[in-house]
Amino acid sequence: MNLQQIENLYQFKFPPDLLELYKSGSFDSEKLSDLTKVSDEKLRYLFEAPYKGLLLDIELNDLWLDVWGKKPGSLNERLSVFNVIYKNAPVLIPLMSEGHKYISSLPMQSDNPIYSVMQSDIICVSLNLRFYIGGPENKILDQDLSIPKIPFWNEFL
């Protein structure tokens, strides 16, 4: 599957800095995988994992963020409200074929933050792709810059 097909299937556009890495063919196998070489099944799993992980936490761990509004009484109502909220969230683009690192598809600009997403345990591991590729992970505090505000995803930080 090529980049255009991935964008069309998952309804997003690659941010400019990630697209440039793809065009250059510069992949660090420890931090970035070429999604065009990943099986369709694996690609679907990677794109669906953040959503399914959050659903699991809503169903089993009673997850509900205050910013989502008053918590509905029934699980079905919570799932219905969550689906509407999630549908409006920026798509997270997987960076690795094995792992849980993602970059936000929005805003459509370079320097979107890199997230580690494990169900509702979501942290920002790097301010942007440049720091992520070039510097050690988990140094967010050493970068001495503010995390770009990404709707929905930053609500977990």
For 67-95, write each residue's pLDDT tens digit.
Answer: 999 999 999 999 999 999 999 999 999 99
State yes or no: pLDDT of 7 exceeds 90: yes
C-alpha–C-alpha distance, residues 142 and 140, integer Å:
5
99: left (phi over 0), alpha (psi -120 to 50) or beta: left
Tokens at residue 12, please?
Answer: 């997003």
Over residues 88-143, the pLDDT tens digits come to: 999 999 999 888 999 999 999 999 999 999 999 999 988 888 888 875 554 555 55
DSSP state of 113: -
Please give the pLDDT value at position 28: 67
Question: One-letter amino acid identity for 113?
Answer: P
Place of tokens 């997987």: 94
Q: What H or E segment, with its residue span, contains residue 96?
A: none
Please give the pLDDT value at position 138: 45
Please give the pLDDT value at position 136: 54
Is the pTM higher than 0.75? The answer reads yes
